[in-house]
Chains A and B, each alone.
Chain A
């Protein structure tokens, strides 16, 4: 098992904010909008340095998505920002018709996705957004795993043409990816090569998968861990290459099992190479209040849960 360590924890949303700061200095066409959550989205530096390229929309997310679509006429690259709940489910029809169907170059950037939003509870803890966004034609869906990767993804999206949904979170989590990484949309990152099981993880679950990999190594299990930061377009070549070798799969995500990364992987396997699969995901349930750690443990989104599912899936290999 390749060793990963960290010296610092940081929130992925700060990766977004610092990515925007860099874009503010390098790309004059990048603009951002926010529905009254500037502090949470960490865009203060971008706004301070480029006040003419920031548009406050007030608490009116539907309108914000339409305005972002309309702003593209000047060649602008709008990043509308809010919480993931309000930037997906609340405005699904605006995104579908005015952004995706109209194929607008809009980068929807949303924070506080999933259970790790914590104390505010179920209303704000969206666990269905990946399913909604990956089912939408033209939409690119990205869920990076740490501060560095989120920053790199934010910057990479400015050079990508077309609608995109960039999902990140609130809590401070380990920084373990390369600060100078080049983010390739749609290209999975092999965290660890192994031969006994393919663990595909996205977002905050990638660090948990690494912890699981270390526990599994002690048990003599050689896990291949792959970070699927881009859920759409899915890197099916990397997925199939890995599963053809390991013959079994565990998918890990801070999202409902229904419609998320796990289902995207299962769809690929069903059509190409059958293999047993286990899901580390939320099982058809809303969230509740608690610290991120308490909630991730309760809903089975932890290194321990990944270990358990891995042992189960290996036993299912014929």
Chain B
């Protein structure tokens, strides 16, 4: 089921890609024709030049847009950190989250005082700052 659905998604993007590539090819043809027409029919050459440039810029724009969309389609897993503390001596360390960690889980002995260490916090780090909109 999953394979079918993902192939459907790919099919659409291939379809879009082929249209864009055809338009791109036609725009190149228009530009070549413009060069050929220039000595005999300069007016026609200008039209072809305009059409060629517009078609080329549109297809390049769509290509970039679809690349951006594909990049946006990734589910990014945030970096989750685990804080470990020794309640006796106050020794604290932060490491990346490991499956099986939970808040108030007892861990191995403290490096400094040999007392048991516990997980005191598990949180994700959010890098980007929220916009304030000045209100």
Verify that A and B bind, or say they do not: no
Binding site for A on B (CB under 8 A): none
Binding site for B on A (CB under 8 A): none
